[in-house]
């Protein structure tokens, strides 16, 4: 898997970049997708707004992301993006014309990305070649590491 980028190709249909920033956001962040998934995964066994476990409205999720410091419009667009990527599942199973009253929950794909893939070096290495960074300084540091090679710790 190493060197062939089988975990991430930037055009795959199953593996997606969840740590990249979205250029269209008001305040781009590399963590908005991860934080949205993390909240839904944490409450997956709880009944917050409905009798069914793990479901919250998009409005509630936007409010939770706003409490973490994200712009509400960015949070809403990030949630819609995660729905389109199949990591968040709307109760209606329809991913068009989502409103803030639509109940959503973390899909198994979102769980795998958040809890398993983020811990895999191969995923992180594969993503960093195509990642959109919110911070120019961080992007420059990563570029320097890639071009110079990472020194051995042995």
Mean confidence (pLDDT) of the chain: 83
Name the residue with tokens 């989502």. 98
Q: Is 123 domain-assigned?
A: yes
- Whether 154 is covered by a domain: the verdict is no
Higher pLDDT, 85 or 147: 85
**CATH number, domain with residue 36:** 1.10.10
Whole-structure pTM value: 0.78
Question: What is the span of the domain harbouring residue 47?
Answer: 32-144
Residue 13 placed within a domain: no
Q: Is the residue at 111 inside a domain?
A: yes
Query: Is 114 a member of any domain?
Result: yes
Token reading at 76: 């809403």
- What is the spatial distance between Cα 6 and Cα 122, in angstroms, rounded to a whole number? 8
H helix count then E strand count, the chain = 6, 3
Q: Report whether pLDDT(100) > 50.
A: yes
As for how many domains the chain has, the answer is 1
Judged against a pLDDT cut of 70, whether residue 38 lies above it is answered with: yes
| CA neighbor of 87 nearest in space, from 111, 61, 53 | 111
Q: Is residue 152 part of a domain?
A: no
The answer as to whether 47 is a domain residue is yes
Domain assignment present for residue 14? The answer is no
Per-residue b or e along 14-32, where b marks 16 or more CB atoms closer than 10 Å to that residue's CB: ebbbbbbbbeebeebbbeb
43, 56 Cβ separation under 8 angstroms: yes
């Amino acid at each position: 898997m190493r060197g062939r980028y089988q975990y991430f190709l930037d055009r795959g249909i199953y593996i997606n970049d969840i740590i990249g920033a979205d250029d269209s956001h008001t305040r781009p962040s590399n963590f908005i997708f991860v934080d949205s998934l993390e909240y839904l995964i944490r409450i997956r066994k709880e009944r917050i707004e409905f009798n069914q476990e793990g479901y919250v409205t998009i409005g509630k999720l936007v409010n939770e992301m706003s409490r973490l410091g994200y712009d509400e419009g960015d949070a809403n667009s990030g949630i819609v993006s995660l729905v389109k990527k199949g990591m968040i599942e709307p109760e209606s199973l329809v991913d068009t014309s989502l409103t803030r009253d639509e109940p959503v929950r973390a899909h198994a794909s979102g769980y795998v990305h958040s809890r398993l893939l983020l811990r895999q070096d191969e995923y992180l290495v594969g993503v960093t070649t195509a990642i959109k960074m919110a911070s120019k300084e961080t992007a420059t540091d990563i570029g320097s590491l890639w071009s110079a090679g990472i020194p051995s710790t042995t």
